[in-house]
Amino acid sequence: MSLYEFERAKRAEGYSVICGVDEAGRGPLAGPVYAAAVILPADYEIEGVNDSKKLSAQKRERLFDEITAHALAYAVISFDNRVIDEINILEATMRAMKQAVESLSVRPDIVYIDGNRTPKLDLSCKAVIGGDAVSASIAAASILAKVSRDRFMLEMDRQYPEYEFARHKGYPTALHYEKLREYGPCEIHRLTFLKKMH
């Protein structure tokens, strides 16, 4: 079944401007959390849009370009590790999602958010658990958030080659923990996440 079925059903209910929101980077030990909001056009379906975790990096990059070229509106917002350490990851994620929606150049009729919580918005807003596998709009947002974050982490890999960020993107892998033990944290590590290491 196409993920666009979700949007078609919602349009049949009378919502014409549908926004999907998702985040990337809640779990890593390093780097920012990203949130994206996307409003897809009603008359154009982007082939291959799916939950970003189910796509190869190459496919995500191609879809990123297509989504940003065809979306009615989109926005990507990030909060860095310092903000995450200061206000906690859930709060940083909610703020990023809220700002992404508020940064859109088109006002949505309804906002669908991946997960079980919604940020405080003055718009009709619904949480959809596993939404990136259900809705094309949320899946498109998951791709924009994931690609934006991965690009940032590849940049960080060039700045801090000793951590091999290109390989784990800051996630808590055995390799990443090994590098942390060897070098200690760098500028982009989330110190509140590292307390759990010992």
Q: What is the pLDDT of residue 2?
A: 86
Q: What is the pLDDT of residue 197?
A: 64
The CATH number of the domain holding residue 8 is 3.30.420.10
pLDDT digits (tens, 9 = 90+) for 31-61: 999 999 999 999 999 999 988 889 999 999 9
Question: Can you give the residue range of the structural domain that contains 71?
Answer: 4-197
Q: What is the dihedral of CA 12, 118, 79, 25, to 10 degrees?
A: -80
Is pLDDT of 198 > 70?
no
- State the pTM of this model: 0.96
Q: What is the pLDDT of residue 51?
A: 83
Q: What percent of the chain has pLDDT over 90?
A: 93
pLDDT digits (tens, 9 = 90+) for 129-159: 999 999 999 999 999 999 999 999 999 999 9
Q: What is the pLDDT of residue 196?
A: 67
Q: Average of pLDDT values for 158-164? A: 98
The number of distinct structural domains making up the chain is: 1
Q: What's the rounded Cα separation, in Å, for the pair 7 and 19?
A: 10
